[in-house]
Structure 1
């Protein structure tokens, strides 16, 4: 009787335990179903036709960014060649002068006196040379007649030679004095406009003192500075498009008008310190420009064909550049190696390696997308 009661209690305990396990499993399934029902659906990003680009082979115009200052091809600084008081300077900044035009003088009184002094000394030397000549002629006749020795004739010959040398030196002094007198007249060596007036009337100037600077604006070039690496690709004759400050006017697209230019010279030496190289570009037109204006633009150094993307599509927010490629409806990040840049239709393109031709790449205007994000392409852009 007691044994039957024990087995009944054990069976009841097993039944209760099994019922508890079943209730726990059903509750777990209910929680999982509720969690699945409440979980949000995967977000799908819709990409418009303008949001993607295709990697295609393009012919890129390789360009270099250049900037520099406008310089007149011909310019000159008129300097004082003799010291003295400056007189007769009437031109000022902006005045037009002609080649050979007298612009100022150095007070000539002192130099005129020096010319007269040198002339008088030359006359004295000439007279002494004539006396020495007559003495030599007389002594020669006496030697022929045997009245004096040959030594006396040699002495008179030496005196004659010395007198002639003194006369020639005096004549050279006259030429030097005349040269100094002519140097008192300051003339412009070129035609152009006065850029600077560096002295005033009545001022006593020294030798090589700067008086005025004249520039010829009929021919203007840009003095641009390039790095040593960039300068290797530059050749005489290459074309450039430059924007010059103050050039005035906009093109139909609303951008500042560009001015064409050509490379005319490349400096064979690098600049000390910076190791940069100076490149000189001649403007196609120079009217309306002034020396010292700033110019910047691009220099066309060649063309190449390569797989290219817009520069904005290559992202650099990681240690290595990459692009966001659409593969089977999801975003994949693909690292790329970049190459030459070029302009096509006003857009900057860059050569890339690491993706296939025809790959669909997210444009730079979309922004970063997490790798694996689901995307849906508009019908116009679907592969």
Structure 2
């Protein structure tokens, strides 16, 4: 019985050491990325104005800022009152030419009958046939002119150039607009982030590099899709593609972390650092046992889903850090 108790006491003394050994972490210098935090602005790939193709009065306007539209959807309608009068005039001319055409056809039929009886000459019959053809061509020309005017009237309908969100409606119903004037601006084709980076960091930007983005309180990852070669005002512009970018507000600014350089750092699991009396400590295992050492922690990075804290001072690499045991 005494031997059994002694054995239990010995095992109890070894349990903390076994737990420390199992929870130990060998400190190895690791290459980490230096990040530069900048602001990116949400932009639409396509911002196309829906223009009026006809000058006149805007009698209908069916959209406002923020509405979602489809390509080809009717946004408004412009009416030019003069077109109705032009159509009436063309209809009158067509009616007159149709009457002339009917009379010319009757004259030609009568002339063909008289020619068979030898009453008129071939030249007179050709004259009647020419008159009928001329009136027919004039009638066709007037009908074509009417189709042109009808097409102009149909161009009063303002259509959405692309599917997307309406960003701006600079006119109101009842306004007089000119041909080519914008009635609404539609953003579509997807959204991306436009960055403006100081030129001293231009050499560190790499095509297709992963970009960390903080938008709407959540972190997402994007891809540096394009770097523009023109430097304007000491800044370089670049575009970042994001799969699930929040596009509720076009032009909104979000925080973007750019990878600039790689450096060597000492990282340990964040739970191995204990703060006491304003100081930070880690347990370091050595030949003489476990000792507590003061360290200066840096930023925390999530690596493979696990928070790791950078140790700026107190560890150099090669030590074995063990978890604190309560």
TM-score interval (norm. to shorter): 0.5 to 0.7
CA distance in 2, matches of 1:62, 1:132: 90
Relative to 1, partners in 2 of residues 1:66 and 1:167: Cα closer, same or farther, differing over 3 Å? farther
CA distance in 2, matches of 1:272, 1:154: 77
The answer as to whether partners of 1:96 and 1:194 remain within 8 angstroms in 2 is yes
**1:171 maps onto 2:139 in alignment:** no
| Matched residues, number | 244
The answer as to whether partners of 1:219 and 1:286 remain within 8 angstroms in 2 is no
Which residue in 2 is equivalent to 1:84?
56
Which residue in 1 is equivalent to 2:221?
259
Q: Give, in angstroms, the shift of residue 189 of structure 1.
A: 4.3
Q: Give, in angstroms, the shift of residue 262 of structure 1.
A: 6.4
Which residue in 1 is equivalent to 2:192?
221
**1:117 maps onto 2:89 in alignment:** yes
The answer as to whether partners of 2:191 and 2:247 remain within 8 angstroms in 1 is no
Which residue in 2 is equivalent to 1:241?
211
Deviations 1:94-134 (A, max 9, x none): 23445554433223543333323322322222232233333
2:171 aligned counterpart, secondary structure: coil
2:44 aligned counterpart, secondary structure: strand
Which residue in 1 is equivalent to 2:170?
198
Relative to 1, partners in 2 of residues 1:248 and 1:225: Cα closer, same or farther, differing over 3 Å? closer
Relative to 1, partners in 2 of residues 1:379 and 1:101: Cα closer, same or farther, differing over 3 Å? closer
Which residue in 1 is equivalent to 2:251?
292
Which residue in 2 is equivalent to 1:180?
152
The answer as to whether partners of 1:85 and 1:203 remain within 8 angstroms in 2 is yes
CA distance in 2, matches of 1:85, 1:284: 42
CA distance in 1, matches of 2:143, 2:67: 41
CA distance in 1, matches of 2:243, 2:132: 68
CA distance in 2, matches of 1:137, 1:273: 80
What is the root-mean-square deviation of aligned Cα atoms in Å?
A: 4.7
The answer as to whether partners of 2:56 and 2:78 remain within 8 angstroms in 1 is yes
Q: Give, in angstroms, the shift of residue 142 of structure 1.
A: 3.3
* Unaligned ranges ≥5, structure 1: 1-53, 251-256, 301-307, 312-344, 348-364, 367-377
Q: Give, in angstroms, the shift of residue 209 of structure 1.
A: 0.9
Q: Give, in angstroms, the shift of residue 206 of structure 1.
A: 0.8
TM-score normalised by length of structure 2 = 0.56
Larger gyration radius, structure 1 or structure 2 = 1
The structure with the largest strand share of the pair is: 2
* Unaligned ranges ≥5, structure 2: 1-27, 266-300, 304-311, 319-326
The answer as to whether partners of 2:114 and 2:120 remain within 8 angstroms in 1 is yes
Q: Give, in angstroms, the shift of residue 207 of structure 1.
A: 0.5
CA distance in 2, matches of 1:174, 1:166: 12
Relative to 1, partners in 2 of residues 1:136 and 1:271: Cα closer, same or farther, differing over 3 Å? farther
Relative to 1, partners in 2 of residues 1:242 and 1:118: Cα closer, same or farther, differing over 3 Å? farther
The answer as to whether partners of 1:118 and 1:177 remain within 8 angstroms in 2 is no
CA distance in 1, matches of 2:137, 2:164: 46
CA distance in 2, matches of 1:102, 1:132: 46
TM-score normalised by length of structure 1 = 0.48
Relative to 1, partners in 2 of residues 1:380 and 1:346: Cα closer, same or farther, differing over 3 Å? closer
**1:160 maps onto 2:132 in alignment:** yes
The answer as to whether partners of 1:102 and 1:185 remain within 8 angstroms in 2 is yes
Deviations 1:322-365 (A, max 9, x none): xxxxxxxxxxxxxxxxxxxxxxx899xxxxxxxxxxxxxxxxx9
Q: Give, in angstroms, the shift of residue 188 of structure 1.
A: 3.1
Relative to 1, partners in 2 of residues 1:165 and 1:204: Cα closer, same or farther, differing over 3 Å? same
